[in-house]
Amino acid sequence: MPLLLDALTHQTVPEFEIINADGMSDDGTQDAVREFAARHPEMDIRIVESPDRTIPAGLNLAIAESKGDFIIRLDAHSIPDTDYIERCLEILRATGAANVGGVWRIHPSGNDWIARSIAAAAANPLAAGDARYRTGGKAGKVDTVPFGAFPKGWLEKVGGYDENLLTNEDYELNVRLRKLGGVVWFDPRVRSTYLARKDLSGLARQYFRYGFWKARMLRLHPGTLRWRQALPPMFVWSTVLLSLLGFYFPLAWKLLIIQWAAYIAALLVAGFREASRRQRLSLIVGVPLCIANIHLSWGLGFWWGLLFRRGSRQNG
């Protein structure tokens, strides 16, 4: 949060309000925001407490509290470029889009080899698929963008974020925007830095949660699953199925070995490419390990969310 607040002092837009949606945190976040506000009396900074302690509920409260015609969402793990707000407003006005977003530059949260590997893996096409906000690309219409910049009228039109979805609430909101004729627009000139998880356990929890809530979202919008999202659960499913079939049909185990051999080969190619590009030998091992963590955690979370209705309310 301190890094995000500091970045907002350097924005090239002269006037905007900052609304901090806080889920009744006890980690000193509110104190940090108040101290920042005291040092910057020229800025309109407010805290909105969300007793529900969930991301979508907090966002909806902040939207209702806002006074402006545009809403720009930023999360605590992000650091916007100095022209971030200016670019978002410029592109919103030029395109008439319902939501505008841009590129994540994914940075490690630590200096050790695992933290660096996680950041490299999260931006690698083998983990990110065709998500332009992670891998880059040309400006144009997309399914989703990180965070988002919206005309407030569009958010009111769709009824805000779905408070029953504790993750994937942004993707689901974009689905509803598109169904009502709104355009979700990606532009690489909109740039922010995203701080990735710092260890493998945190990465696994994050992607298990993503998979779990993606499955829940599919109950609302069954046709929204993309190929890049379908591959991890299919890989997990085929691994389990072939493992079990092998007890009755030994050929299944041979197919399982072929599947995993091809997968490991693809992971190693990704690792060597990242190590060469970033000039870090540790990525040869680290990137494959982290990409596999992402795929398996996402796939397992997806099946858990699809098969079991009961789930955690954690956002973490």
In the chain (316 residues long), the average pLDDT of successive 10-residue segments reads 82 87 83 88 90 92 93 90 95 97 93 96 90 89 94 96 92 95 96 94 96 91 84 96 96 97 98 96 97 97 86 48
The span from the CA of 96 to the CA of 182, in Å, is 9
Distances (CA, A) of 146 to 81, 141, 283: 14, 14, 26
pLDDT per position as a tens digit, 43-70: 899 999 989 889 999 999 999 999 999 9
Q: Mapping DSSP to helix (H, G, I), strand (E, B) and coil, where does residue 9 land?
A: coil
Distances (CA, A) of 175 to 69, 95, 100, 154, 314: 22, 18, 14, 13, 23
Domain ranges of the chain: 222-307
The span from the CA of 274 to the CA of 280, in Å, is 8
User: What DSSP designation does 222 have?
Assistant: G
Instruction: Give pLDDT, residue 29.
Output: 82
User: What DSSP designation does 10 have?
Assistant: T
Q: Where are the beta strands (DSSP E) in the chain?
A: 17-22, 44-49, 70-72, 78-80, 99-107, 140-141, 149-151, 184-195
The span from the CA of 237 to the CA of 259, in Å, is 12
Instruction: Give pLDDT, residue 4.
Output: 84
Q: Two tokens at 248?
A: 């009755």
Q: Pick from 87, 73, 13: which is nearest to 43 by CA?
A: 13
Instruction: Give pLDDT, residue 316.
Output: 45
Element (H, E) at 243: helix 227-245
pLDDT per position as a tens digit, 91-118: 999 999 999 999 999 999 999 999 999 9
The number of C-alpha atoms within 13 Å of 301 and in the hemisphere containing its C-beta is 24
pTM: 0.88
Q: Pick from 62, 124, 87, 104: which is nearest to 286 by CA?
A: 124
Q: Pick from 109, 34, 48: which is nearest to 78 by CA?
A: 109
Q: Pick from 38, 39, 37, 41: which is nearest to 19 by CA?
A: 37
Helix-then-strand count for the chain, H and E: 13, 8
Instruction: Give pLDDT, residue 308.
Output: 83
Distance of CA 230 to the CA centre of its chain: 17
